[in-house]
Amino acid sequence: MVKASVLGASGGIGQPLSLLLAISPLVDELSLYDVVNTPGVGADLSHINGTAKVTAYLPEGGAGLEKALTGCDIVVIPAGIPRKPGMTRDDLFKINAGIVRDLATGVAKYCPKAFVLIISNPVNSTVPIAAEVLKSHNVFDPTRLFGVTSLDVVRASTFVADVVGGDRTKYKIPVVGGHSGETIVPLLSQISPKVDIPADKLEALVNRIQFGGDEVVKAKDGAGSATLSMAYAGFKFAEALLRAGNNETGIVEPTYIYLPGVPGGKEIQDTVGGLEFFAVPVELGPNGAVRATNPLVKVSDYEEKLLEKCYEGLKGNIAKGVEFIATQSSKL
Ligand SMILES: NC(=O)C1=CN([C@@H]2O[C@H](COP(=O)(O)OP(=O)(O)OC[C@H]3O[C@@H](n4cnc5c(N)ncnc54)[C@H](O)[C@@H]3O)[C@@H](O)[C@H]2O)C=CC1
Ligand SMILES: O=C([O-])CC(=O)C(=O)O
């Protein structure tokens, strides 16, 4: 029996992501939670003759979150406001930090052993926030907390194929670092299958992967950011974890993790200037992260320069999340 929950289920990401989970044969029960509209979204999804039983909750003064989370094996969190043109992901911190704090508190209380997948931006800071909340409740297991960076990986393969052609479903590119602008570092020198990216196209390609989110924000023109591609990418990551949970082996996905707590992570931490959180390809197993792999040992000179900028940006983003929770003890 696998129970999954989506927190922020009525939103632009939450609805299509819930649809994908509701029709997945890997999910037996899907609980939807949001501050608005879950009765409608839940009634709608519950008519699908898939394997998952769908339940839906509003806050109900705290009881709704408890019911949504109790017994959960996997919790996906896309709750929070999205960007409008002219905003950075960091501009979302003010509102989304408190939302992630409260939802992570719910996880700590009602399903402390669940896998937790954070989509809410700024991911670079919201994952440290969730980690600090779980730590404060003495239930932090770093092998079960994941910042979802899969959309960067999805975009990387699509945009590479736009430049060099070939089957875009086949390109695998380790995208490391964080999830905003220059903290997103695609290691195109390690693309598989190997392709030659023309030198005069490299910089624009890297820039497109780093700022792909801006393309959607601009095109939506005030109506939000990526939702459908994010639901696809978020589901892909959740599905990878559920497949690993079914003892499927050899599953490796890039994700933003707490390096010191995942096997293989300390060695990576030493190469990234001591940063505690960083996205790398991670091998997944029935209990979550099994091993962080280190693609940083063979980067090009150009990628080394990108990484320097990434470290600088991430350092501040991580500290901001950790410091926020240090001031919130009464709210945890
Ligand atoms: N990690 C990634 O790659 C990506 C992350 N995002 C982020 O995902 C977040 C959600 O984006 P959208 O779905 O487009 O926004 P949206 O505004 O359409 O949906 C957000 C939902 O969260 C709900 N919500 C707000 N406070 C809540 C709370 N305390 N508890 C439960 N639900 C709550 C809202 O009612 C709304 O239904 C944004 O922060 C966005 O920046 C978006 C795209 C990619
Ligand atoms: O750009 C945004 O704000 C949403 C996001 O994280 C993405 O699309 O990668």
Q: What is the CATH number of domain 3-148?
A: 3.40.50.720
Distance (Å) from CA 178 to ligand 2 centroid = 12
Q: What is the pLDDT along the chain (332 residues), one digit of tens a residue?
A: 999 999 999 999 999 999 999 999 999 999 999 999 999 999 999 999 988 999 999 999 999 999 999 999 999 999 999 999 999 999 999 999 999 999 999 999 999 999 999 999 999 999 999 999 999 999 999 999 999 999 999 999 999 999 999 999 999 999 999 999 999 999 999 999 999 999 999 999 999 999 999 999 999 999 999 999 999 999 999 999 999 999 999 999 999 999 999 999 999 999 999 999 999 999 999 999 999 999 999 999 999 999 999 999 999 999 999 999 999 988 88
Distance (Å) from CA 223 to ligand 2 centroid = 13
Task: Tell me whether residue 179 is one of the annotated catalytic residues.
Answer: yes
* CB of 185 shorter than 6 A to ligand 1: no
Q: Quick one: pLDDT at residue 314?
A: 98
Give the integer Cα–Cα distance in Å for 201 and 197.
Answer: 7
- Check whether 177 is labelled as a binding-site residue: no
First-last CA distance in the chain:
30
Q: Quick one: pLDDT at residue 329?
A: 84
- Check whether 11 is labelled as a binding-site residue: yes
Give the integer Cα–Cα distance in Å for 1 and 242.
Answer: 11
Burial string for 237-255 (b: 16+ CB within 10 Å, else e) reads: bbbbbbebbeeeeebbbbb
Q: How crowded is residue 314: how many other Cβ atoms within 10 Å of its Cβ?
A: 26
- What CATH architecture applies to the domain 150-318? Alpha-Beta Complex (3.90)
* CB of 80 shorter than 6 A to ligand 1: yes
- Check whether 243 is labelled as a binding-site residue: no
| Ligand 2 pocket at CB < 6 A | 82-83, 89, 121, 151, 213, 216-217, 225-226
**3, 101, 144, 179: the active-site residue:** 179
Give the integer Cα–Cα distance in Å for 221 and 68.
Answer: 34
Q: Quick one: pLDDT at residue 281?
A: 98
Q: Which of 87, 89, 92 to mutate to test the pocket of ligand 2 (most atoms within 8 A of CB)?
A: 89
Alpha carbon nearest to ligand 2 atom 8, residue? 213
Give the integer Cα–Cα distance in Å for 275 and 269.
Answer: 6
CA atoms within 13 A on the CB side of 214: 11
Q: Specify the pTM.
A: 0.98
Q: Quick one: pLDDT at residue 47?
A: 97
CA proximity to 186, closest of 302, 268, 284: 302
Distance (Å) from CA 179 to ligand 2 centroid = 8
What is the residue extent of each domain of the chain? 3-148, 150-318
